[in-house]
Structure 1
């Protein structure tokens, strides 16, 4: 089960959450939701920011260890064929301990390149390989339809397109294994639905 999908920045300094989608409520916050909608929103924002900060820290550490400069990282991210392909993506899996910030232990599967990171917050028992494959498909479609690496402002301008992609690939937060034939059919459906959104 996927609990959240988050797009955030990887620039030096603090990470900025650009987009977030939640698929399931955390059991500890369901009472708070009844008590106050604004309290619930603050809890969610704190969770998303925590995830963004953890991934951001890991990415910055890897950049430092590899000896890459920010300029080299940006050059790698923008070195894309015709602006439509994917840059060389850094991938990682991180564990969130219990109560930090979710009630149960969670796993973050993330991809990052240049200035952007894409993270899935999953149950600790979720199949991480399937999560990585689906997240890579999500990133590929975001680049194909929104050109997120060359035009990051589209993340803020076209949230409905992002939600459409997520609904197709992780319906209700479920990570489903799909064979290539099913993925091709899904691509056709996604292509037609994205034309309607535009």
Structure 2
């Protein structure tokens, strides 16, 4: 089960302090569990719960940004800006990583975080620790590819916030209700065709 999916920045952003990350899109699946006790959760107002969820996602984004920065510094590779039409090359050159979130950081139980950073954007999945990492990684790459190819997220002036409804559809088709799907070749081809037709609208 996937706990949440997010798209966020991993490069400098005007108006943000160094080391901060701006969350451009997030989707939380399943029951919302935080480091608070169930009694504390019940006593929260809806607005407080929303802010708590927002802070959980922000914690993940900050940790992933730090990991991406360290990975890029360690590799010594120079980032080459990718233009529209070179999305597949961008994904192949992307930085990837996996890290563990301990108990209370910020959920009750441990979680596994998978991230894929393409230039200034990171696509991140937070899963249960027992999930199949190969399946999760394949799903994350597939979602990222669709986002970059169909939603043109690498283009100048690309506004992820205005494309959130299309990202919702992508997630619903590729990862319904936060479930990672084992898919055979025919099912994948059919899904790809459906997605291409939908995104062409």
Whether the TM-score (by the shorter chain) exceeds 0.5 is yes
1:78 matched to 2:82? The reply is yes
Asked if the contact 1:8/1:17 (under 8 Å) is kept, the reply is yes
Q: Where does structure 1 lack aligned partners over 5 or more consecutive residues? A: none
Task: Note the C-alpha offset of 1:26.
Answer: 2.5
The residue correspondences of 1:140-151 to structure 2 (distance < 5 A) are 140-151=145-156
Aligned partner of 2:15 in structure 1 is none
Q: Bigger CA drift: 120-129 or 180-189?
A: 180-189
Q: Aligned partners of 2:184, 2:24: CA distance in 1, in Å?
A: 31
Select the structure that is richer in helix.
Answer: 1
Q: 1:52 aligns with which of 49, 61, 66?
A: 61
Name the counterpart of 1:7.
7
Q: SS state of the match for residue 88, structure 2?
A: coil
1:67-117 Cα deviation digits (max 9, x unpaired):
24xxx32x1x4166x344340111111100011101110000110021000
Residue in 2 aligned with 1:64? Answer: 73
Establish whether residue 89 from structure 1 lines up as the match of residue 108 from structure 2. no
Question: What is the rounded CA distance, in whole Å, between the counterparts of 2:175 and 2:159 in structure 1?
Answer: 21
Distance 2:26 2:127 in 1: 14
| Structure 2 spans left out of the alignment, 5+ residues | 13-17
What is the aligned partner in structure 2 of residue 127 from structure 1?
132
1:187 aligns with 2:187: no
Task: Give the secondary-structure state (helix, strand or coil) at the position aligned to 1:149.
Answer: coil
> Partners in 1 of 2:28 and 2:153 — Cα distance?
20
State the match for 1:16 in structure 2. Answer: 22
**Structure 2 contact 152–158 (Cα < 8 Å) conserved:** no
Q: 1:177 aligns to what SS in structure 2? A: coil
Alignment partners' CA distance in 2, 1:171 and 1:180? 18
* Alpha-carbon distance in structure 2 between the residues aligned to 1:35 and 1:111: 34
- Equivalent of 1:173, from 156, 172, 178? 178
TM normalised by structure 1 equals 0.88
Give aligned pairs, total: 190
**Is the 1:83–1:147 Cα contact (8 Å) retained in structure 2?**
no
The separation in 2 between residues aligned to 1:165 and 1:86, in whole angstroms, is 21
